[in-house]
């Protein structure tokens, strides 16, 4: 596992050269001026299950060790209910995001969560509710339907702008992460007893870094299909 990115010095040197030819002829000033601007690498995370197979819909997030970063809510996002299942079954949103639970089935659903991250209830309804549910606290909200036991949805509410969800290949890419030290958290509904998941330390520099994370997920609770 590559835990530390090797910074490509070329852009920094070019920036220092330009600044040094200007009014500021100090390398110290040059490094301050250039440091934040050029260093932003992507973090590519490859997630596998207990058997080494690619793990779909793992939530990957990076929290800055230096302190909380500014986070904006997603303006609005929709979870649909189709064929008596949530679609998608796993979502990652930022704190404060309003989520619309749109029912496209011909039966009514009764959507609820008892999770500390968000406790709510949408009593038996059809169609698209006028009012979204705002996920205003970090954590994982586990959501079900009172009528249909097989319906399950996990919403990871994140307090960081850097996150992603793995695709069928088990891979997620978090683009343009500012240089610095981070806690990489990888979580999946198949992990019991934790909403943090597996945590490791990563250092991000100017270049992309690759991380491989294996989760002890054996029985996948997600329904097959999309």
Query: What does the binding site for Cu ion look like in residue numbers (CB under 5 A)?
Result: 109, 145, 147-148
d(CA 113, CA 91): 15
Residue 1, exposed/middle/buried by CB under 10 A (0-12, 13-18, 19+)?
exposed
Task: Decide whether 148 or 173 has the Cβ nearer to Cu ion.
Answer: 148
CA distances from residue 198 to 8, 52, 111, 170, 192 in whole angstroms, order as listed: 29, 15, 29, 15, 11
Nearest distance in Å: CB 148, Cu ion: 4
Token duo for residue 70: 């500014």
Q: Which of 103/160 has CB closer to Cu ion?
A: 103
Q: For residues 137 and 148, which CB has a smaller minimum distance to Cu ion in the complex? A: 148
CB of 110 to Cu ion, least distance (A): 6
How many Cβ atoms from other residues are within 10 Å of residue 51's Cβ?
9
Query: Shortest gap between Cβ of 111 and Cu ion (angstroms)?
Result: 7
CB of 145 to Cu ion, least distance (A): 3
Nearer to Cu ion, 13 or 124 (CB): 124
With CB atoms as reference, the residue minimizing the distance to Cu ion is 145
How many CB atoms are closer than 10 A to CB 60? 29
CB nearer to Cu ion: give 147 or 176: 147
Residue in 138, 140, 126, 158 with CA at minimum distance from that of residue 221: 140
Least Å distance, CB 85 to Cu ion, is 9
Phi, psi dihedral angles at 38 (to 5 degrees): -95, -20
Report the first-to-last Cα separation within the chain, whole angstroms: 30
């Amino acid at each position: 596992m590559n835990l530390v990115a090797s910074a490509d010095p070329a852009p920094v040197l070019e920036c220092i050269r330009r600044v040094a030819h200007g009014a500021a002829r100090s390398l110290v000033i040059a490094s301050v001026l250039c440091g934040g601007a050029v260093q932003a690498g992507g973090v590519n995370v490859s997630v596998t299950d207990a058997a080494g197979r690619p793990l779909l819909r793992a939530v990957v997030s990076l929290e800055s060790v230096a302190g909380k970063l500014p986070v904006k809510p997603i303006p609005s996002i929709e979870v649909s209910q189709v064929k008596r299942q949530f679609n998608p079954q796993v979502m990652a949103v930022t704190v404060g995001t309003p989520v619309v639970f749109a029912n496209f089935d011909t039966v009514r659903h009764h959507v609820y969560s008892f999770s500390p991250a968000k406790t709510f209830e949408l009593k038996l309804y059809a169609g698209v509710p006028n009012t979204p549910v705002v996920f205003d606290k970090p954590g994982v909200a586990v959501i079900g339907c009172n009528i249909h036991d097989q319906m399950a949805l996990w919403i990871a509410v994140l307090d960081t702008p850097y996150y992603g969800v793995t695709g069928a290949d088990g891979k997620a890419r978090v683009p343009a992460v500012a240089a610095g030290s981070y806690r990489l958290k990888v979580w999946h509904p198949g992990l019991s007893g934790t909403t943090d998941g597996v945590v490791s330390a990563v250092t991000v520099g100017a270049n992309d870094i690759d991380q491989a994370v294996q989760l002890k997920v054996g029985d996948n609770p997600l329904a097959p299909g999309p």
